[in-house]
Structure 1
Amino acid sequence: MQHIAHTAVEVIRAKRDGHRLSEEQISWVLGGYTRGEVAEEQMSALAMAVLLRGLDERETADWTRAMVDSGEVVDLTGLERPTVDKHSTGGVGDKITLALTPLVAACGAAVPQLSGRGLGHTGGTLDKLESLPGWRARLSAAELRRNLDEVGAVVCAASERIAPADRKLYALRDVTGTVESIPLIASSIMSKKKAEGTGSLVLDVKCGSGAFMKERGEAALLADTLISIGTATGLRTSALLTSMSTPLGENVGNALEVAEAVRVLRGQGPPDVTELTIALAREMIDHCGLTGVDPEEVLSSGRAHSRWKDIVRAQGGDPDAELPEAAHVRTVPAPATGRLAVLDAYAVGVAASRLGAGRTRKEDEVQHGAGVRCLVKPGERVESGQPLLELHTDTPESFEHALAALEGAHEITDGPVEPDPVVLERRPGARHDDARNGS
């Protein structure tokens, strides 16, 4: 490709006026921004132009490639197992990674799960796992490779050298009102997944009050955009659209969710968490071409629970240690008799965060024992005064703040209630003959 000199103003104007950006323009501006040659205010203007004018499929794929090229790509070639990862767009009580990763590893795949921390009303996988004494989120490249070889999975923090353009742009979008752009959301997700070196990817795109995408149409558009990027960049990708109107499972909070995930691995977990874990495992196993493997059988056999212990120990944790418990507990009683019709996921997530389970700023510390236990799920009958929710915290002064978030969060009715299905829809991607690395 012939090199052409560009300026940031030229690229901003082009997108402002609705023109299609060339691959070279995108590569130049993201590279320059990563190196500090394109100013923050200029990238802010471009991000707003993208929000208002959009990026087409080709531009979005080029944007993703440029963010991948801004840093290092993990080399996972030569592993004996096929590699596959799962990404969730975030929800409340979403502890699926904790049970899914050992299950898929026990089925014969390698799962390089690079995860993040919670911010706002959604929890972070790394915060949850740090409830386990000794567990380490940061691994060297050699440790990551060794753990994939020996136990079939890692759940760890991404290196700062992975897609640094995305890391910088993500922070900028958060303070410039440009978070909602679907092309920028999709390229952010896919650049990190492409850079981590996985052979294929399954997406859990959530929709509902507790999800980033509130409407099913928005969630489907995001899923299709993610799949399109995967296809364009050679990464086999498919998606499940899943419900996030109600918290997933019975527990929201770090140690509370770890304990629930372990119950799933022992065959004693809540039906919705178990169902979604198995559904995503089936999709991931299909990507890997692991025919004749039934994740439901692997789960019931105990092999996934055993693999969980191996994965935790390989990162310095003690899977048998007592988990932290909050010092203070308060129950929220049901205001009436009937069936629980609504338990708003967003409100429960905000309450859990206010109790100490989450953070409002990246530098905030989390309380590992804090959170909310959902004692009744939509569709179940409840008596007036019966405990509906249980609030856990080390800071009892936060109870009132959490209770304020829960005002209007639940509805009880006399009539029948039909809870939302867990999996709303499957969005298949293009098939490849071989899902292994290098295909």
Structure 2
Amino acid sequence: MLFNKSKLEVILDSSDVVLYGSPREARFAEISGRVVLTTKLAQSASSLIVRLRPKYQNSFNPVLSILWMSDITYTIIKDGRIDDASVEIPHDSSTGQQQWRFAMAIPGNIFETVYTPNVSIAYELVAEMRATSVSRWVPFGKLAHSVPICIKRLPASDSAWATIANEPMYASAVWRNSVEMTAIAGSRVMHDAQSFEVTGVVRPLHKGMRLLCAGFEIRESLEGNLRCPTQETSQRSTVAKCLCEITTASLDPARSSGPVSSDASSGVRFKMEYPPASIPHRTGVAIDQEIQVFGAVNVPRAYTEIQYDIATGPIRVSHELVFSASIVDEHGQVHNVRLSSGIYVLPKPTQAPLDLPRYEHSDKDILLAAGRRWSLGSSAVACLPSWAGSIDAQHTCQDSPPPAYSYAITTAISSS
């Protein structure tokens, strides 16, 4: 029978939708793709609808689904007539495919996708088609197909959030006036499924200290309706880390740049200028000079063990980078010292910067009139209006400086 071989599917241009800016300032985003019908013969449809809706979890799945929005519907075919904004590709007898291209807009205040062990915010795009002749096509006169889609968000390029995130990370604190710890990275932004490189420095301010191990970890904080739709809770977890012990025997004094200790499996490398003092029957390395710690933290893939940063919504996500070290004081007591600073886990930009054409490069724009060019000679400068007082003696325009954003980064250091 013919209807047994009919197949409807949705093919998206991109399975991710990236919004730029906060929910209050983000513009509409576009979901584009095509609906493909595979049949032996060309078919006509009475209706074809594409719908973005929340994805319902299985009733046997204990994960709580947050369903906050109604469906966003885009009609491609209504009463047998195709929408003017859509494009129909006729039936191809060689492939048996008949296609309809579409592009629909979604609001900028939609919540981002989240997958946690207890709660999820998920979406799917559904295509539904009804035949013109029900009895001669498919049972019940309807074909449907759905695909998952992820909603992501990036800071706007001119926002304070983007300014702070793109600055190099530098955090420093002193522990008990004995050791200074510093964490340095090229940026506060890290992407999932990549390695994030960071450098830590342990500088002695007092004699008699020893370093047992050091490393870095990424901590994730979740806040919101995690277990109950009416009650907010919070939880913290370590999503990635690299930690390595250091001993005098593990150092390689033959290096021209100084003794180096490295462990490929942990992703941590130690470096110092001179060979440290060797103390028999004692573990660790004496902190008698600056010890540099180079780490590469492997960030997990998003929606598996880590989530993207989310500032507003029913689920809020934030991250911090922790530089930790186990230090032995002069009395032989071990202290786990931690230095933390905020970071951002963001998706990779999927859109290239817009290159808008100039007006005179468009064949649809016509120059109606052109004003006289101002001569910047002495006679013309005297005729300039009062608002042009920012032109100096060299006849160069001094623009006002861009706005400066002030922010505070909290660094916490503690011992246990």
Task: Give the TM-score normalised by the residue count of structure 2.
Answer: 0.19
Compare relative contact order (CA 8 Å, sep 6+) and give the higher one, 1 or 2. Answer: 1
More helix by share: 1
Task: Give the TM-score normalised by the residue count of structure 1.
Answer: 0.18
More strand by share: 2
